Amino acid sequence: MRYVLFLLSLAFAVSAGAVCTFTTSGSTMSLDGDCTTDTTILVPDGFTLDGSNHTITAVDPMGDHFRGAVVANGGTSANVVNLKISAGGLMNACDAGGDRLRGIMLDGASGTIAHNTVLALNQGASGCQEGNAIEVRNAPFDGTHPSTLPVTIAHNNLHNWQKTGIVVNGDVSAWVHHNDVTGSATQANLAANGIQIGFGAAAAVEHNQVEGNSWCCADAAATAVLLFLAESGTSVNQNNLIGGNADVGLYALADGVSIVNNKVFESGADGFYDIGIGDYGVGNFNYNNKVKGYATAYDGNPGMKNKTIPGGP
């Protein structure tokens, strides 16, 4: 059965380009071909959106600008796989809350986001604090855990996003592995982060390739991986963290986390900060990491059996 997905009623129309149509089989909705959308595509509760390696391109609606996620959950569980997401000439307009630009978002939902490509999800030379390629969030964001949701984010390729490649915030337990996250397309205009685990979220961040980001100024540091008030037990292990430049390769402002067997190698020019691993938490297990090319290899907790590899970027 074929259908056109209008917002809230499993179908919607777009202002230009091919309309997004899907073929459903059971609880899987497969994208029929490349298409454009000027509004969010909702995945029904319990469904999997299989992109079949086709591309959904976000465009501005006539007389307005694109708001919110390109693809998001419509219930308490959703999966998004094998999808390509892009954007075309989006207006540089800053939004807040649910109107912030995202590629794939799970808000208050469990699920899997895997084998997707998010490309050029940005608003040009923008300093707007939005444009996250993948975002997973679940209230509350105060470190309490009334209803923790499990999420897997794996084998995704994320390029030329705006603010953050992968964001996991709030009452979420995430497995983030085997993702390729390049740098922000607009990092000269904001402090960008490759992967962020924050505000009470717990995660295992493993086997990812993440390029760093650099910001001009002292008011913030751009990173490859940021742990900001992440839950105790969060681990960042066995990652090839840096393939480019970063103010801080791995920035840990969290307690009781594990930072083990990571390679943090810089290969770009210095920014305002130049720190390989900044571990500013309490009770962290910081062990057997390798850092190369940073002016300060380790800041805060120096860890145990960590190595500084000689040579510059």
What would the pLDDT profile of 110-142 be if each residue is shown by its tens digit? 999 999 999 999 999 999 999 999 999 999 999
Is the pLDDT at 313 greater than 70? The verdict is no
pLDDT in tens, 214-254: 998 888 999 999 999 999 999 999 998 887 889 999 999 99
Nearest to residue 139, comparing CAs of 98, 103, 175? 98
Q: Where are the domains of the chain?
A: 80-95+102-309
pLDDT digits (tens, 9 = 90+) for 258-293: 999 999 999 876 678 999 999 999 999 999 999 999
Domain 80-95+102-309 CATH assignment equals 3.30.565: no
Quote the DSSP letter at residue 76: S
Q: Output the pTM of the full model.
A: 0.94
Query: What pLDDT, on a 0 to 100 scale, did the predictor assign at position 242?
Result: 80
CA 132/CA 171 separation, integer angstroms: 19
| Residues facing 149 on adjacent strands | 172
Which SS3 state, helix, strand or coil, does residue 97 take? helix
Give residue-wise pLDDT tens across range 23-77.
999 999 999 999 999 999 999 999 999 999 999 999 999 999 999 999 999 999 9
What's residue 287's pLDDT? 98
pLDDT for 16: 53
What counts of helices (H) and strands (E) characterise the chain?
0, 32
Instruction: Pull the structure tokens for residue 227.
Output: 């742990």
